[in-house]
Structure 1
């Protein structure tokens, strides 16, 4: 659990779960966007950043249970909001559902840029495990996940592709359990240019919330626009 700007006296917490191939870095600047009474906490999966020496996760359920344990023990003493992007959206949904069953659910859940859990695994979805390293690299560089500075470093490129492939392996092992829903207010956010059916993908989330559900369309693709991403907390309704 990474705290870019620790605020132990804050009365509430925003917990962010990242996307395939990513770490906590894309979310760290959000700490400056939050109100003073909220602390930003980022989940770092194994095999990256401070957990670089640990082996990658290989199965969805053990990784999800690890995240739930961390959230329940380290965060849930205060009201908290869960946010997940792409793979992190489905992870946040599952974490919310499992934490609710343990009596420590979030006050709200925001999911971003992802197909609904009921659709996973998505046939023909990009990126996917059947693609070559070059194809995965092309996806990362064109969608905006990989900065140009990293593309100029062959060893870092190789590490980035390996990390993405490891996370895709975890994602491929996910299976939605019929009937799983969340009671927390659910916000679904998607980019208007994120694939051929981004609006349809967002709407298929709607049946997974038992409480209030809202859908918000934003400009841009899988990561919206740089301006929107840099100030994304302002788009999280519960904040």
Structure 2
């Protein structure tokens, strides 16, 4: 098990454990690293783990993540935050930990529609989609700057990571309910997720469920960091 599975971005109280979206690494969440303990899961094949091969099996990736998280002494006080693909991994990590009689204090799911177990959300095919189609999709989400994708070497790297993560996202969802409260966040102009479709997450918890709609696109979470922190404090 790699010691780089969890990357600490800032120290403090009220631990926040983040799960990055497709195509991103742990550093995506640096915008939240302020006056609280913020760590982020580092998937294989990027940033501090760039020498490792991409994960090809979601169950195996989740097994690695949950094995690492299960060792945390303050897991019961932690908030899981997953954005886009990371929302699926955050929920399924909580589900896996629950089988070990462990649980975070709550789970925050951002920009990811709930889909029935065994199905996958609407997204490009990680293998069949052309580079141009994939670039257009990434730009449409709003989280990737056009000048980045215009750079040949950067674009090649971003597309390679995105394809690997799209393959993971298409592998279907796990069954089961979690006992932790769920908070969902969705941008009011998100082309990939809607508040209405995210309402289905209410059926995946035996605890409280809350929804918040933010101003913005698929990357609305990153454009509303202070509001998000306030929501965490309000629902503590």
Aligned residue number for residue 123 of structure 2? 126
Query: Distance in 2 between the 1:167 and 1:6 partners?
Result: 28
Pairing partner for 1:24 from 23, 26, 32: 26
SS at match of 1:64: helix
CA 100–50 in structure 1, closer or farther in 2 if over 3 Å, else same = same
Aligned residue number for residue 212 of structure 1? 208
Aligned-residue Cα RMSD (Å) equals 2.2
Q: Name the TM-score, length of structure 2 as normaliser.
A: 0.87
String of CA shifts for 1:107-160, please: whole Å, max 9, x gaps: 1111011011426313xx233333211111122223222234523421111010
SS at match of 1:66: helix
Query: Distance in 2 between the 1:113 and 1:170 partners?
Result: 17
Q: Are 1:76 and 1:104, in contact at CA under 8 Å, matched by a contact in 2?
A: no
- Structure 1: state its 5+ residue gaps: none
Q: What is the CA-CA distance between 1:69 and the residue it aligns to?
A: 1.0
Q: Name the TM-score, length of structure 1 as normaliser.
A: 0.86
Query: Distance in 1 between the 2:123 and 2:41 partners?
Result: 24
Query: Distance in 1 between the 2:149 and 2:193 partners?
Result: 30
- How do 1:1-239 and structure 2 match up within 5 A? 1-7=6-12, 10=13, 12-32=14-34, 34=35, 38-74=36-72, 76=74, 79-118=77-116, 120-122=119-121, 125-129=122-126, 130-177=128-175, 180-195=176-191, 198-224=194-220, 227-229=223-225, 232-236=228-232, 238-239=235-236
- Structure 2: state its 5+ residue gaps: 1-5
Aligned residue number for residue 3 of structure 2? none
